[in-house]
Amino acid sequence: MDLKEMRPRLKSELGISEVNSGVYSNDWIDNPKGRKINLYSPIDGEFIAGVNGGSKEEYEVMVKNMEENYEKWIKLTSPQRGELIRLIGLELRKNKEKLGRIVSLETGKTVVEGEGEIQEMIDIADFAVGLSRQLYGYEIASERYNHRMYEQWLPLGIVGVITSFNFPSSVWSWNSFIAAVVGNVVVWKPSSKAPLTAISVMNIITRVIKEHHYPEIFSLIAGGGGEVGNLMTSDNRIKLISFTGSVDGGRKVSEAVAKRFGKVILELGGNNASIISDRADINVALKGVAFGALATAGQRCTTTRRIIVQESIYDEFIKKLVNVYSKVKIGNPLEEGVLVGPLIDESAVNNFMKAIEQARHEGGRVLFGGEKLSIKGYEKGFYVKPAIITMPEVSPVSCQETFAPILYVFKYKTIHDAIKIHNAVPQGLSSSIFTTDLREEELFLSPWGSDCGLANVNTATAGAEIGGAFGGEKETGGGRESGSDAWKSYARRQTVTINWGRDIPLSQGIKFDIK
């Protein structure tokens, strides 16, 4: 696909100009006064567009508007709120291909992954529509005569969502569509590395809102974490912050929000491992590991970063895996057949190279890859050759998350050894085991097994479905997004007691007579 031809067409169709406002609050704010962000495609290093970020002045206007819009939004019933999300889902379907291309152009994802990002938004919209009629509480047996007790879930108010570049729109929708049907309004701060996708999405979504005369429940403010992010995390008016990013960034967010007793959902680092048993279906395991390690050029929080292979099949499995890696096509992600595109920017490439050097220093042996690549016609892009590195033991480099395609390989004797190696890192997001042995599978899923928020059997660590609650343990943060009952994170629980009798009996049989 010709990038020079694609850029102007996409910009025109999705409302992107050479310099864009990065602040939406009831409408786009002209010339916001924050820092300007210049965007370059990681595919070829060429300029895409500029975005003017928001300042404290625009932030204050936005939050005041959202307070007013919230008062209008909560007057609608939950099914009425779900209807807006249904209409948004329909519009996303119409624009799936165009939005997917913007994702690819801005982040370097392949065409399939770019469109998959938008499909995930469509899927969570469908989920949220159904959820809008299923926000259940519980009827609770009261110990007092002529009393009824139940619990209900009420909206928080304004929810802040801070997203990362690697999923520039879908993770926002996980939070925002669910939060909206619960009754909240949402402030979105996209990554400074990928605000154009957010602007394109807002152009489409807000068109639906205006056409159907709904309150403006979504707002957007681009800018750096030290600028806009700090305003959000310290603001008492924003009741919940959902943050996707690094462990260090999440720690700062958590501390700032905790000081004001706000709520957080933190989706931070992942250092995900797959255990490859000698009782695994090797072909299934190879495909699962390759997808988990290489999808999005290793820039997923659920990327497979470590594999732990049983010693009797170690040599065979690694030989086959190297063969798989050698056949993977790397290059312009918009071209057919390319499976691995570029890293997001030069700093990501530098981190990749530093981690490989550190692994060597710690006794690692590079079996494949580990180099910068220059792709003909895209010499200014940020390409690397995915690395496979054998490690003699768990070491500092294998305990850190490098957001790049590096796969560390360990050997184990018993399944208990494998689980010990698996759990020896500070992160706890996703995990998997490849085995056909029921006992190994159940051990992995037991309290003595995987210590992660996501556990998979005979499938990759990457590729979570929207129907399940998503999130991790340990330094991965806390809280859950997307499916199951994660909607409760965006609500406050209220226990209600109603006395419908002519007396006021007290609990625990206490007597308090007034004559």
SS3 percent helix, strand, coil of the chain, rounded to 5, is: 40, 25, 35
Positive or negative, the CA dihedral 42, 47, 48, 51 is: positive
Radius of gyration (Cα) for the chain, nearest Å? 25
Answer whether 409's CB lies under 8 Å from 391's CB. yes
* 3-class state of residue 115 by DSSP: helix
- Catalytic site includes residue 301: yes
Answer whether 201's CB lies under 8 Å from 149's CB. no
DSSP class of residue 505? P
All residues at 6 or more sequence positions from 55 whose CB lies less than 8 Å from its CB, including other chains = 32, 33, 34, 223, 227
DSSP class of residue 142? -
- Catalytic site includes residue 452: no
Answer whether 410's CB lies under 8 Å from 391's CB. yes
| Residue recorded with tokens 């595109």 | 341
Diameter over CA atoms, the chain: 94
Upper half-sphere CA count for residue 459 (Cβ side, 13 Å) = 10
Taking each continuous run of H as one helix and of E as one strand, the counts in the chain are 14, 26
Give the separation between CA 97 and CA 244, rounded to whole angstroms.
25
Answer whether 163's CB lies under 8 Å from 186's CB. no
Give the separation between CA 181 and CA 26, rounded to whole angstroms.
19
Give the separation between CA 130 and CA 65, rounded to whole angstroms.
28
Q: What is the DSSP string of 430-479?
A: EEEEE-S-HHHHHHHTSTTS--SSEEEESS-SS---TTSEE--EETTEE-
- Among 227, 301, 440, 481, the active-site one is 301
Upper half-sphere CA count for residue 336 (Cβ side, 13 Å) = 0
- Among 120, 267, 401, 441, the active-site one is 267
Answer whether 404's CB lies under 8 Å from 347's CB. no
DSSP class of residue 258? H
Q: What is the DSSP string of 23-81?
A: EESSSBPSS-SS-EEEEE-TTT--EEEEEE---HHHHHHHHHHHHHHHHHHTTS-HHHH
| Residue recorded with tokens 């180099």 | 371
- Name the amino acid, one letter, at 87: L
Q: Would you please indicate which residues are annotated as catalytic (active-site) residues?
A: 267, 301
